[in-house]
Amino acid sequence: MSVFYFVRHAKAGSRSHWRGDDRLRPIGKKGVKQAEALIDIFKPFKISAIYSSPYLRCVQTVEPLASDRGLEVQEAPALAEGRGLRGAFEFMGDPKLDDVVLSTHGDVVWELVEDLVRRRLIKPGEGGYEKGSTWVVEVRDGKPVRALFIPAP
């Protein structure tokens, strides 16, 4: 059994107000607080690695946690916006990975929730996908078998 922690990036500045490359849009003041709060939220959990979408807001979301645990944030294009759940399943299918944080985007988390509902691991409307929230997903043989939602701080 392996465990993966899907973290939706913390609150970032408004997409419509951002003038530059969206991949460089940072988290805002609330997002910084959410990112720092992940340190306490993850206290009871073992973490062996932290992977993130290369988008700045995803990296910034898990940097405080990585720093607290003495880990590097490893950028993974498979977790980027628009890549869908396929990239996440690459991680879940790797038998060498366990206790891994995956920092990603709302569209990926939305697909994850839909998949968990389809598998009848959660009921429709259970949990969510708001910015800064986490899904703890237990995986056996590359497939989700249990899920727990942790609301955003």
Segments making up each domain of the chain, as ranges: 2-150
- d(CA 80, CA 94) in angstroms, rounded, equals 18
Kindly state the helix (H) or strand (E) to which residue 119 belongs, with its residue range: none
Q: What is the CA radius of gyration of the chain?
A: 14
pLDDT tens, 52-101? 999 999 999 999 999 999 999 999 999 999 998 998 899 999 999 999 99
Alpha helices in 53-105 (DSSP H): 56-69, 85-92
Q: Which CATH number fits domain 2-150: 3.30.300.30, 3.40.50.1240, 3.40.50.980, 3.40.50.460?
A: 3.40.50.1240
In this prediction the pTM is 0.93
- d(CA 45, CA 97) in angstroms, rounded, equals 15
pLDDT greater than 80 at residue 21: no
- d(CA 85, CA 40) in angstroms, rounded, equals 27
List all residues 6 or more positions away from 80 whose beta carbon is below 8 Å from its beta carbon. 53, 54, 55, 87, 104, 105
DSSP β-ladder status, 134-140 and 2-8: antiparallel
